[in-house]
């Protein structure tokens, strides 16, 4: 006879494994971006093709399984879709560009500060009160970001052409993905995961392709291997990584949302060390520890308050 606790734990094994797969997949994003950039692909083009490939892969199953949901959207929903997609596109455009100028460690830690902007946006626009733990976590995250920036400005990042610009772009990327989450709340409540991501990925792809056209960035003509890295970027970090998180968290407690947030920078730093030879300075390590601890405190505090 099985123990009741063991029986209740078994259904959580697959979702927990899903989060693990998602962390590994999304941690590879910065590495794939660097390889694509090394082949001559412009950052804006990488972002646009990443979302375009993901949207095209999702289109057939979305039309087959979610046609009724998509048809039920009203005229008021279209501006929300476009705005949410625009912020998602801006997130990928700025974050991917940041990797041209700063280290993988600084970029992924700073872009992970998106919960800081979500909490701030919720307080300002949704009038949600900040409890003491959330405020403390926000302070730790901000202090960690300052430590990272100070270390980079003082030359802690080797072979980085413009760490200050790269760090700023990563922070803008964090703010953009936070805006995407806040705006997309209404849509996510009325749409299934497949319908929602197919819509916003498509909108983001359209916005980014338009930006590529305005900027005059090429879509063709660079190293063929760059296209392989872009396709892998769409299939693994975008579709496997993000989708695994959203699927798994439908079965697990809300506090598990912290794991992907903390896991991505750790996985990316390890992969950058192994594959790119990037080290980790003492200030980046200290700032990263402060920031990620603050994000963890904020996430646990906010999800505990939701129950």
Query: What pLDDT score does 251 carry?
Result: 61
pLDDT at site 244 = 75
- What pLDDT band is residue 1 in, cutting at 50, 70 and 90? very low
Q: What percent of the chain has pLDDT over 90?
A: 36
pLDDT of residue 7: 46
Interval 57-74 mean pLDDT: 90
Task: For 108-158, write each residue's pLDDT tens digit.
Answer: 988 988 888 877 877 777 677 778 888 888 888 888 888 887 776 655 555
How far apart are the C-alpha atoms of 48 and 167, rounded to whole Å?
21
Helix (H), strand (E), coil (C) string for the chain: CCCHHHHHHHHHHHHHHHHHHHHHHHHCHHHHHHHHHHCCCCHHHHHHHHHHHHHHHHHHHHHHHCHHHHHCCCCCHHHHHHHHHHHHHHHHHHHHHHCCCCCHHHHHHHHCCHHHHHHHHHHHHCCCCCCHHHHHHHHHHHHHHHHHHHHHHCCCCCCCCCHHHHHHHHHHHHHHHHHHHHHHHHHHHHCCHHHHHHHHHHHHHHHHHHHHHHHCCCCCCCCHHHHHHHHHHHHHHHHHHHHHHHHHCCCCCHHHHHHHHHHHHHHHHHHHHHHHCCCCCHHHHHHHHHHHHHHHHHHHHHHHHHC
Q: Please provide the average confidence, as pLDDT, over all residues in the chain.
A: 83
Q: What is the pLDDT of residue 52?
A: 97
For the cut 50, the answer to whether the pLDDT of residue 307 exceeds it is no
Summarised one tens digit per residue, pLDDT across range 213-256 is: 999 999 999 999 999 999 999 999 999 887 776 666 556 554 55
Q: Quick one: average pLDDT of 165-170?
A: 94
Better pLDDT: 12 or 209: 209
pLDDT higher than 80, residue 304: no
Phi, psi of 172 (to 5 degrees): -60, -40
**For the ranges 24-38, 131-145, 153-167, which has the lowest average pLDDT?**
153-167
Render pLDDT for 186-208 as a digit per residue (tens, 0 to 9): 777 788 889 988 999 999 999 99
Residue 8 is predicted with a pLDDT of: 46
Note the pLDDT of residue 5.
46
CA dist 135 → 129, 211, 302 (Å) = 10, 36, 10
pLDDT-based confidence at 18, cuts 50/70/90? low
Domain segments of the chain as ranges = 26-306
């Amino acid at each position: 006879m099985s123990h009741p606790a063991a029986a209740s734990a078994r259904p959580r094994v697959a979702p927990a494994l899903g989060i693990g797969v998602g962390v590994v997949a999304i941690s590879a994003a910065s590495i794939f971006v660097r390889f694509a950039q090394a082949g001559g692909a412009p950052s804006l083009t990488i972002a646009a093709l990443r979302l375009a490939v993901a949207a095209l892969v999702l289109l057939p199953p979305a039309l087959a399984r979610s046609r009724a949901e998509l048809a039920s959207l009203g005229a008021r929903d279209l501006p929300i879709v476009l705005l949410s997609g625009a912020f998602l596109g801006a997130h990928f455009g700025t974050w991917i560009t940041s990797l041209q100028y700063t280290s993988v460690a600084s970029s992924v830690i700073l872009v992970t500060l998106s919960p800081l902007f979500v909490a701030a946006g919720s307080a300002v626009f949704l009038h949600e009160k900040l409890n003491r733990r959330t405020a403390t976590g926000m302070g730790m995250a901000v202090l960690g970001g300052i430590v990272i920036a100070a270390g980079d400005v003082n030359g802690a990042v080797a072979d980085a052409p413009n760490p200050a610009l790269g760090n700023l772009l990563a922070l803008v990327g964090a703010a953009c993905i936070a805006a995407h989450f806040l705006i997309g709340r209404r849509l996510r409540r009325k749409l299934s995961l497949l319908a929602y991501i197919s819509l916003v990925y498509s909108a983001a792809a359209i916005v980014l392709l338009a930006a590529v056209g305005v900027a005059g960035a090429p879509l063709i003509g660079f190293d063929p291997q760059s296209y392989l890295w872009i396709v892998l970027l769409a299939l693994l970090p975008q579709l496997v990584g993000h989708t695994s998180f959203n699927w798994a968290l439908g079965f697990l407690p809300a506090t598990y949302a912290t794991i992907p947030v903390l896991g991505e920078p750790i996985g990316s730093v390890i992969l950058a060390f192994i594959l790119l030879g990037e080290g980790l300075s003492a200030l980046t390590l200290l700032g990263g520890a402060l920031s990620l601890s603050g994000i963890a405190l904020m996430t646990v505090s906010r999800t505990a308050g939701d129950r």
